[in-house]
A and B are shown apart, each in its own frame.
Chain A
Amino acid sequence: MNLQAIKAIYLFEMSRTMRTLGQSIVSPVLSTSLYFVVFGAAIGSRIDQVEGVSYGAFIVPGLIMLTVLTQAVSNASFGIYFPKFIGTVYELLSAPASFYEIVIGYVGAAATKALAIGLIILATANFFVDLSIVHPFWMLGFLVLTCFSFALFGFILGIWAQNFEQLQLVPLLVITPLVFLGGSFYSISMLPPAWQTVTLFNPVVYLVSGFRWSFFGMADVSVGFSLLAIGLFTVLCLAMIAWIFRTGYRLRS
């Protein structure tokens, strides 16, 4: 195991984040505040409560998930796409590091950044609503797991993408809709029955539901299902990464 290589990649990526610290933090905090104003204040004044939780508090887990998913995917995909784009990927390919060590370095850094932003949003949310977290450890566990699995997904995306458009296409066309339709801002039970069934095919539903359970102790689907879904997704990503490693897909000609 080349631990030095993992450390080098991780620190290099983190220093990139540090260089742009301002925009890394300001923009998610700002957009979260906007969501609170729009959803919490405007809509919340009409909905009042969802399953016994004030609407403002109810949307917090969904909001965190929205940002964390987007951040994990975009950080990890950019992290590996950029070296490909500017050609410095030759170093990674010629280093005495296995593909797994490279993945751990990049994914670790992207997940760390997403996690930090998730926690910052949680802190920001505290200014707007009263939050008491029922299962804080589960909450952290869900958050960390989500950061890692979606950073893995982002890494795959970054390897697949052959231009900047493709790099942005998936987050825009897949991630954002899935999150918005995944019960981030409403409870699944508020939908007509037919749509409830459709929604169950959306993997983000399980994430948000599990995450919300850790906050309020109530969920759209059972927590076991949530864990299973996120575990399955992680395994799928790992399998794909193993395949990329074996074939050198879009990395080695």
Chain B
Amino acid sequence: MSAIVSVKGLGKTYEGGFEALRAVSLDIEEGEILALLGPNGAGKTTLISIICGITNPSGGSVTVGGFDTIRDFRGARALIGLVPQEVSLEPFESVINTVRFTRGLFGKKRDDAYLERILRQLSLWDKRADRIMTLSGGMKRRVLIAKALSHQPRVLFLDEPTAGVDVELRKDMWEIVRGLRADGVTIILTTHYIEEAEAIADRVGVINNGELLLVEEKNALMARMGKKELRIDLARPLDALPKPLEAYDLRLTDEGGLIYTYDTSAEKTGITDLLADLRHAGLHMVDLDTRQSSLEDIFVDLVREDGP
């Protein structure tokens, strides 16, 4: 695999002097799904806007498909589709016209058969002649996606495509994203629903305060940073931790059971010792359950450590 998008030392200082990006470097592999996570104001949209040519960088460079986004902007931009965070659409235009417009803008010949395919896929075909102002919010988002796909991009940026979208459409969207990936399209998405990123992304990048904290394969990240919890239900609920068990990383649950947190990548998990000590203390277990910490837990930890 080779990098289709290569970001080198990208910096952005807005007019007022606010530094929204600091020396961000990032290689995005062809065909992967990369999820960019970060709290509000982290710089995700700024990063995407610079790559797409909407915002000028203050420093650094970007190539897309080997084309420099400033010197060879035609080559670079022709490869990119963008679904922006804000829903901005021409209210009085019909759906089909605005999608056709985008395709033309990106230098592609009119191809109604292809557009029909996308519109059908996005359940917009029946609405094709409707004015955009008459569509619901979710449908407008679909129109944005149809526009972004109208010129068959190789790299697709989805800036919070599922904000304010119902469960059904979200599922549809991820179905489409998976389909695109199967066709070899590279996808970069931002989302605040981290379980979505967990479900769909190959790699995860975390941005905070304009800095890229990490980019890592999702599974590796979860194995490295993820903790596991063992929940122990007891026959007789406890009021306080018994003395002999204080050496362990244990918490009491509201029901008087115990939660043991351990690191799966550590040499010893300590489970065997704990269970033995429980028996010595005369505690009877009625149930055991383990839980892997989610990407969300990892994300929250990362950002909290990094500070505001």
A→B interface (CB under 8 Å): 2, 4-5, 7-9, 11-12, 15-16, 19, 83, 86-88, 90-98, 248, 252-253
Contacts and interface: CB of A to CB of B under 8 A. Distances in A.
A95 B106 contact: yes
Interface string B12-25: 00110000000000
A101 to B, nearest CB: 9
B203 interface: no
B52 A94 contact: yes
Contacts of A8: 100-105
B71 to A, nearest CB: 13
A97 B54 contact: no
A18 B39 CA distance: 45
Contact of B105 (A16, A86, A92): A92
Nearest to A85: B88
Interface in B59-89: 73-78, 80, 82, 84, 86, 88-89
Interface stretch (B90-98, B239-247, B297-305): B90-98
B231 interface: no
Contacts of B52: 90, 93-94
A7 B15 CA distance: 34
A30 B104 CA distance: 37
14 contacts: A2-B107, A4-B105, A8-B100, A8-B101, A8-B102, A87-B84, A91-B105, A91-B147, A94-B53, A95-B77, A96-B78, A252-B56, A253-B15, A253-B56
B83 to A, nearest CB: 10
Tell me the interface secondary structure of chain A in the complex.
helix
B82 A5 contact: no
A5 B104 contact: yes
Interface of B: 14-15, 52-56, 73-78, 80, 82, 84, 86, 88-93, 97, 100-109, 147
A96 B106 contact: yes
Given A8-B102, A91-B105, A96-B77, 16 more contacts: A4-B105, A8-B101, A8-B104, A12-B93, A15-B93, A86-B88, A86-B90, A88-B90, A90-B54, A93-B54, A96-B75, A97-B105, A98-B74, A248-B56, A253-B15, A253-B55
Contact of B104 (A7, A16, A86, A248): A7
Given A86-B88, A86-B90, A96 B107 contact: yes
B105 A9 contact: yes
A5 B107 contact: yes
Nearest to B46: A253
A97 B104 CA distance: 10
Given A94-B52, A94-B77, A96-B77, A88 B108 contact: no
A88 B88 contact: yes
Contacts of A94: 52-54, 77, 80, 82
B54 A96 contact: no
A90 B90 CA distance: 12
A212 B64 CA distance: 55
Given A91-B105, A97-B105, A19 B92 contact: yes
A233 to B, nearest CB: 29
A93 B88 CA distance: 14
A97 B107 contact: yes
A247 to B, nearest CB: 9
A237 to B, nearest CB: 24
- Pairs of residues from A and B, 5 with the lowest C-beta to C-beta distance, nearest first: A8-B104, A87-B88, A96-B77, A96-B74, A94-B52
A15 B89 contact: no
Nearest to B74: A96
B232 to A, nearest CB: 54
| Residue from A87, A88, A91, A94 whose CB has the most chain B CB atoms within 10 Å | A94
A252 B49 CA distance: 10
Contacts of B56: 248, 252-253
A94 B93 CA distance: 20
A54 B28 CA distance: 74
A85 to B, nearest CB: 10
A90 B109 contact: no
Contacts of A4: 104-109
Contacts of A97: 74, 105, 107
A12 B97 contact: yes
Nearest to B102: A91
A147 B56 CA distance: 33
A15 B88 contact: no
